[in-house]
Structure 1
Amino acid sequence: MTSIMTNNSAIGALSTLRSISASMEKTQSAISSGYKVEKASDNAAYWSIATTMRSDNKAMSAVQDALGMGAAKTDTAYTGMKAAIDVVTTIKAKLVAAREPGVDKDKINKELTELKNQLGSIAKSSSFNGENWLYDNSDTAGSTQEMVGSFVRGGDGNVSIKTISFDSSKSMLINDKAAAGGLLTAGTTATFASGTTTTTGTYYLIKSTAGSGTGTEVTLSSTTTDTAIDGMVASVDKMLSNMTDAGATIGATKSRIDTQASFAKNLSDTIQIGVGKLVDADMNEESTKLKALQTQQQLGIQALSIANSSSESVLSLFR
């Protein structure tokens, strides 16, 4: 039936054209934004996952910054510890030299005094962002330092922050308020040979401002006996061993931080790639789709034009 009130062909062509226009709008949006899922209405599940993972990735970026801060702290502590080890090694060599008969022990002691001052300067200056793992001036013998290591989202959706810990009581060289809290201010007991027997001696290298450590200070004078020097050498050697252990612990902590920082960076990149696979538009596919839709649109317009012109043919029946 031919009707001038209802043009079924035109309605069908118009509906098709509307559908093509809607698809073109979606495709053009994907091309202009670069996302196939930009809004929750595009794909609620993928949008939700992508939003959560983007948030987690920002937290991971903060973790990387925190790890950089932790690395700087350990680098500072290690640099100070290494310098202190070099100075204490020199002190040990000076003490060995003082064992030589006829040597001027008072002059060597002046050198020891300057070396001790240098140790104090190294320990106090080994500070980063207000934290010092080599020097303290409190009643505590160091403390556990915690550095942010990772951001974790569990399978139940709950999040947590994991930390990397370092016990600075193991690396503290000088404690001016609690002498027992420093490797160089506390008394170090060592066993050494004395004639045909062995004996023990307790010495400390640096005198804290609040008081002396256990034992006797490592210092020389013209009356210092060979036995006393032997005890000093043995104690200083044990201090060096303790400092070396502390330096190794700092180095191990630094290595862990570096490994974790590398992992955090790789994980962040992986998350970003994963989110991209969910929501990024394939520009090759979208451009091909747009070209096809443009062709369909042109054909739809042509079909609508033909459908509209069919009604005009009714006029010829009344001529």
Structure 2
Amino acid sequence: MASILTNASAMTALQSLSATNKALQQTQGRISTGYRVADAADNAAYWSIATTMRSDNKANSVVQDALGLGAGKVDTAYTAMNNALDAVEKIKDKVLLAKTSSAEERAKIQSEIDTYVAQLKDSIGGASYAGSNLVYTKGGAGQPTEVSIISGYNRDSSGNVTTSSIDIAFGNIRLIDAAVTPPAAGTGILDKAGTASTKSILNIDVTNLTGVTGATESDQFDALLTDAEKALGSMADAAAELGAAKARIDMQKDFVSKLMDSIDRGVGQLVDADMNKESTKLQALQVQQQLGIQALSIANTNSQNILSLFKG
């Protein structure tokens, strides 16, 4: 039946063209954004997972920055520790030389020791990175007892978050306690009173052995040398702790970097569009759109054909 009120063919062609246009719009959107799932309307589950994982990756980026900052602090402290080891070695050698030297020679040796002590104070006091000095602390009440470097961000299936950290106790690596002034004893490796001589490394005076433990002058020098060796041992342990922390930070930085790449790949597999597939689909839909337009045009001409029936 031919009708001028209802054109079934045109309605069918229009529905088909609308569906093609909708699919074409979706494909063009995927090609322009690069996403198969750009928002929750595309796929709520995948979008939710991708959003959560992207949030975790942002947290991992902060962890990576914190590890970089911590690495700078530890590297600076490690450099200062090695420099201090060399200086204390030289001080110990000068004390040994002074043991069998004359008074005049000891005065010259003490001048060299004072130079090494000044160099120690300058290098240790200047071993600051981003306002933090791990080997030269103020000490006293209210001061932190350790440096804590965030190394991990963990979220369980319930959404509970925990963080991990790399901790270094200041008591193990502190060289000088700035809260005290020599000759008062501090809490650092170099400014605390020696157990054998009662003198700290920073207070050694080979020209005046007053207050140094020992029955004879030889015993007093031996006590100074004993404390120098103990200080070197403590510094070696501190350097080892810093070195271990540095190695752990480097490994964690590498792991976090690989973890972020892995998460990015996983998110991409969920939401990224296959550009080869979408470009092929685009061409097919463009052809379908053209055919749909032609089909609608043909369907609309049917109504025009009815007019010819009324022409005489």
Q: Distance in 1 between matches of 2:132 and 2:295?
A: 77
Q: Distance in 2 between matches of 1:313 and 1:180?
A: 108
Tell me the equivalent position of 1:293: 285
Cα separation, 2, equivalents of 1:28 and 1:37? 13
The equivalent position to 2:159 in structure 1, one of 141, 157, 160, is: 157
**Deviation readout 1:192-245 (Å, 9 max, x if unpaired):** xxxxxxxxx4432124xxxxxxxxxx2212878222212211210111010000
2:301 to 290, 296, 309: 309
Is 1:235 the counterpart of 2:227? The answer is yes
Equivalent residues of 1:142, 1:172 under 8 A apart: no
- SS of 1:294's partner is helix
Pairing 1:176-215 to 2, within 5 Å after superposition: 176-177=178-179, 179-190=185-196, 201-207=197-203
For 1:93-118, what per-residue CA distance to the aligned partner results, in whole angstroms no more than 9, with x for missing partners? 11222233558112111111111111
Secondary structure of the structure 2 residue equivalent to 1:24: helix
Amino acid paired to 1:167: A
| 1:225 alignment partner, one of 212, 217, 224 | 217
Partner of 1:211: none
How many residue pairs are counted as aligned between the two chains?
A: 299
| Aligned equivalent of 1:173 | 175
2:54 is matched with which residue? 54
Gaps of 5+ in 1: 191-200, 208-217
Q: How does 1:130-149 map to 2 (within 5 A)?
A: 130-139=131-140, 143-149=145-151
C-alpha RMSD over aligned residues: 2.0
1:283 and 2:279 equivalent?
no
Q: 1:263 to 1:222 in 2, by over 3 A?
A: closer
Q: Distance in 1 between matches of 2:285 and 2:178?
A: 80
Task: Give the letter aligned to residue 179 of structure 2.
Answer: K
Deviation at 1:3, TM superposition (A): 2.2
Residue 177 of structure 1: SS of its match in structure 2? Answer: coil
Local SS of the residue matching 1:206: helix
Matches within 5 A, 1:267-282: 267-282=259-274
Give matches, 1:30-45, under 5 Å: 30-45=30-45
Distance 1:301 1:142 in 2: 75
Q: Note the C-alpha offset of 1:28.
A: 0.6
Q: CA deviation at 1:307?
A: 1.9
1:92 maps to 92
Name the SS for the 2:140 alignment partner: coil
The 1:136/1:313 distance shift into structure 2, 3 A limit, reads closer
Say whether 1:127 aligns with 2:139: no
Give CA-to-partner distance per residue, 1:254-278, whole Å, 9 cap, x none.
1111111111111111111211111
Indicate the residue corresponding to 2:5 in structure 1.
Answer: 5
SS of the counterpart of 1:132?
coil
Deviation readout 1:118-172 (Å, 9 max, x if unpaired): 1111221112222222112332597111112121111212223322211011111
Larger displacement relative to structure 2 (81-90 or 128-137): 128-137
CA spacing shift, 1:142–1:102, aligned 2, 3 Å: farther
Aligned to 1:109: 110
The TM-score normalised by the length of structure 1 is: 0.87
Q: Deviations over 1:41-61 (max 9, x none)?
A: 111111112222222211211
Q: Which amino acid aligns with 2:5?
A: M
Q: Shift of residue 26 of structure 1?
A: 0.5
- Percent identity over paired residues: 45
More strand by share: 1
Cα distance in 1 for partners of 2:98, 2:118 equals 19
Are the counterparts in 2 of residues 149 and 163 from structure 1 also a CA contact under 8 Å? yes
Secondary structure of 1:306's counterpart equals helix
Quickly say closer, same or farther: Cα 1:142–1:36, change in 2 above 3 A: closer
Matched residues in 1 for 2:132 and 2:102: separation? 46
Q: 8 Å contact 1:105–1:220 — kept in the other structure?
A: yes
Q: State the match for 1:196 in structure 2.
A: none
Q: Secondary structure at the match of 1:127?
A: coil
